[in-house]
Amino acid sequence: MTALLEVGGLTKRFGGLVAVKDISFKIEAGEILGLIGPNGSGKSTVMKCIMGIEKPNAGTVKLSGTDVAGWPTHRIARQGVGIVFQHARPLQRQTILEHIILALLPDNLLMLRTDHSVRQRAEAIAARVGLTAVMHRLPRTLAFADLRRLELAKAIARNPKVVLVDEPFAGLTAAEVTDFSNLIASFRAEGHAVLLVDHNVKGVAALVDRVLAMYLGEHVAEGTAEEVMANETVRRVYLGGKIETAARPEREGKGHTPLLDVRNLGVLYGKATAIDDVSIHVGEGEFVSVVGLNGAGKTTLFNAISGLVPYSGAINWRGTPLAGKTAGAIARTGIVQCPETRELFGDMSVRENLDLGGQHMTPAESTRQLDWLFGLFPILKSRQGQAARTLSGGEQQMLAIARALMMHPKLLILDEPTLGLAPVILEQLSKALETLRQTTDITVLLGEQNVTFALPHADRVYVIEHSRIVWEGDPARFAEEAGAGYL
């Protein structure tokens, strides 16, 4: 039997970057395939090539045996493909029902006057996805979950053979995830072929029939969710390798007022929930790791602590609320974040970037701090006059951390410092963090997907999943209790 969707040898390049390399898979009628991988693995590019949003450089995309690779998007949609985008961009002057009616319109405008059933069909679709109660309202008045339901409604309006769903559960509550899972499962029951794109296996495991894992554009593993989660290559991609921990002495001050105390934190991006009722604490001198897959909420948590995004709940620093303080004022209290994106000044030299971090110090203090940092990251000393943008990725990460340390932080927040770095650089960073731990009183809050980097230095570990803290404990317990289910 011919598969509803068959992708063969799909390859897509953006200049010299190979975003997708020789990807192949099939989806039969009544089957759900999960396409998973970390950020930058090529998942969304595969989906865009199927839909005609991007034109592949090589390979085939067959719908019921017809190769549509390179066709324009509207022709592929007519051939029987619907797509549910992660980010809704509705027309703001049309009601929800009018959006569904627009999706139902025939290709030939002359047919509009003869089709009297369009409104009834639109109302039936609204009912199916749970929008009946709000179908006469405008998009700006809707909750985030209802906007996602609208995207589903538009995608299935013309009864497509193949449904592509991008990050189906991002920003949803647990109850909403259940509702959406049931809706997507109903597509399978009706004989559609469904492609679910997500960051991790765990989010879609209960729903999919098979999983294909990608990394850096390439096929890594394929099979059932359980087989893919157990695959050593997949675990190395997500975890970084074998989980190892080191015994830590009890920290002084346990039971005292935490240096940082986050209570019932909530953050919304528009109507999407990015952080939901998160509480963590960090004691003075502690090394605390927050581990979670891409999109779990680590960066949002850190940005709230640093005063970069509005939030509900409470963030206390040394017992004093940070609410209402600017990001600059928070940094001056001693909370310094080294962001995932590094945010270096590329045309300025290494030394100039470091001097910016130490501008509050006297020349003598700055010299002493620079000497210490060049001992921690020797490569930066030999690169002082070099423009930051010309450094390697690992060297740029070292510079970003060094610049943060020039500010003499009391709490250093490191967001995904290992992202995209080679193993030899990871080892250098690991040694630098251990030196910090052993020789300074700096408190560290680390956010990482790579648990093999995050755990060896940690006193305590939090696991964040779909915007909520789902586990807390010491590193040894993580290896026993949470490690197996991390994916």
pLDDT at residue 365 greater than cutoff 60: yes
Give pLDDT tens digits for 321-334: 999 999 999 999 99
pLDDT exceeds 90 at position 312: yes
79 part of a folded domain = yes
- Residue 160 backbone dihedrals phi, psi, to 5 degrees: -70, 155
- Answer whether residue 339 shows pLDDT above 80: yes
Written as one letter, the residue type at 224 is T
Q: Within a 10 A sphere around the Cβ of 485, how many other Cβ atoms?
A: 12
Q: Is the pLDDT of residue 283 over 90?
A: yes
Are 184 and 266 within one domain? Answer: no
Do 197 and 293 fall into the same domain? Answer: no
Whether 199 and 307 share a structural domain: no
pLDDT value at position 1? 63
Q: Is 75 in the same domain as 182?
A: yes
On whether both 95 and 172 belong to a single domain, the answer is yes
Q: What is the CATH number of the domain that holds 156?
A: 3.40.50.300
Domain annotation covers residue 251 = no
Q: Is residue 244 part of a domain?
A: no
pLDDT at 21: 93
16 and 141 assigned to the same domain: yes
pLDDT digits (tens, 9 = 90+) for 411-450: 999 998 887 676 677 788 888 888 888 888 899 999 988 8
In a domain, 249, yes or no: no
Mean pLDDT of the chain, nearest integer:
85
For the chain, the straight-line distance linking the first and the last C-alpha, in angstroms and rounded, comes to 34
Q: Are residues 386 and 442 both part of a single domain?
A: yes
pLDDT on residue 318: 93
Q: Are residues 198 and 320 in the same domain?
A: no
Calculate mean pLDDT across residues 120-132: 90
Give SS3 for 481. Answer: helix
Please report the pLDDT score of residue 449 as a whole number.
83
| Counted domains in the chain | 2
Task: Report helix, strand or coil for 301.
Answer: helix
Q: Can you name the residues that pair with 66 across neighbouring β-strands?
A: 63
pLDDT band at 239 (very low <50, low <70, confident <90, very high): low
User: Which range scores top for mean pLDDT: 197-211, 213-227, 399-413?
Assistant: 399-413
Strands 460-465 and 468-473 come out as: antiparallel
Domain that holds residue 453: 260-482
Residue 385 located in a structural domain: yes
Burial (CB count within 10 angstroms: exposed 0-12, middle 13-18, buried 19+), residue 26:
middle
Residue 156 CA to residue 175 CA, distance in Å, equals 22
Q: Where are the beta strands (DSSP E) in 139-192?
A: 162-166
Domain boundary among 170, 205, 239: 239
